[in-house]
Homo-oligomer: A and B are copies of this chain.
């Protein structure tokens, strides 16, 4: 653990001082913004998310906005998923690939209107990518990063909190759909989404000057349900099998290797970036796949600072791309990006430096009985 600090090139979010007041101890740089990743009590923060309700500053999940006559066309060119059926107010989780089918991001695409799309991105420069594609193809579209900063409300009690603020209608929102709303003159989009499997919403704040106001409103409204601060939680997301682009994906990972094949539509037009390569990979079958890894022993190990080798019969068969203590399994768990020759149930080892840790490959998401 070492210090970091806000800087003109690593921005603070509109909620930053509120998160510091709440006791945020740890930050991560994500899309050139400080993302809080800890408030000092990991187990309480995990329980709050999985049993109650938790509020997260996820402003670092920036939006890349495509606006103009060719916005819809560019959105489709960038995405190996058919957006033709996507209607205003609907979001879709998509695989963004390069020309050889490797993942360069896995955003939610929100159709704001016929001429405006938001890409709610993981940690890579989708704006730079989209700007290049639009210019090289001569498209009439403006690409910007608008003043939009999501605040996530996540957990089994999230619906009650968000309904108490915005009204009962939020209970009818379908997953990844969103609608405009206002509270105390603060403009937001309310989306049923979020990077956990505990249910919840993301409030897309559309006026950064009102971040602290929105934080207070949610905190106050959530008090009856004991809301408290949280963050994209490594234990919960790994138990739930959620992918972290950047963490679980390297420069040569395609969607089929990391369980995103179901979000790829092979019949999109030929001008979609990477689609020819993806058709080939789909036909041949990928060479790696992603499985769960449960490690032996009930001693929580320190954090995961890199990919570690997965070894079977003395030979490297893949990588452990993340690792965490699971409160659900009382074991250290992680994702293995391993050869398709590896199967669920296989006994393997994880090489952390000179230490070999016994482990077993499991399905994803993890079940309580996978330990």
Contact = CB atoms under 8 A, between A and B. Distances in A.
Interface of A: 1-12, 20, 24-29, 32, 34, 38, 98-100, 104, 123-125, 128-129, 131-133, 135-137, 145, 244, 246-248, 251, 273, 303-307, 321-322
Contacts of A135: 98-100, 273
Q: How many copies of this chain?
A: 2
B1 A5 contact: yes
B125 A8 contact: no
A11 B321 CA distance: 13
A138 to B, nearest CB: 10
A247 B8 CA distance: 5
Contacts of A20: 2
A5 B5 contact: no
Contacts of A6: 305-306
A118 to B, nearest CB: 17
A305 B133 contact: no
Nearest to A32: B246
Contacts of A10: 28-29
Nearest to A135: B99
Nearest to A12: B305
A38 B248 CA distance: 30
Contacts of A251: 145
A100 to B, nearest CB: 8
Given A3-B3, A98-B135, 4 more contacts: A3-B38, A8-B246, A8-B322, A28-B29
Nearest to A322: B8
Nearest to A8: B247
A9 B132 contact: no
Nearest to A98: B131
23 contacts: A2-B4, A2-B20, A2-B25, A2-B34, A3-B3, A3-B25, A3-B26, A5-B28, A5-B303, A6-B305, A6-B306, A7-B247, A7-B305, A8-B247, A8-B248, A8-B322, A12-B306, A99-B132, A125-B128, A129-B132, A132-B132, A133-B136, A145-B251
Contact of A4 (B12, B29, B307): B29
A26 B27 CA distance: 13
Contacts of A38: 3
A137 B244 CA distance: 31
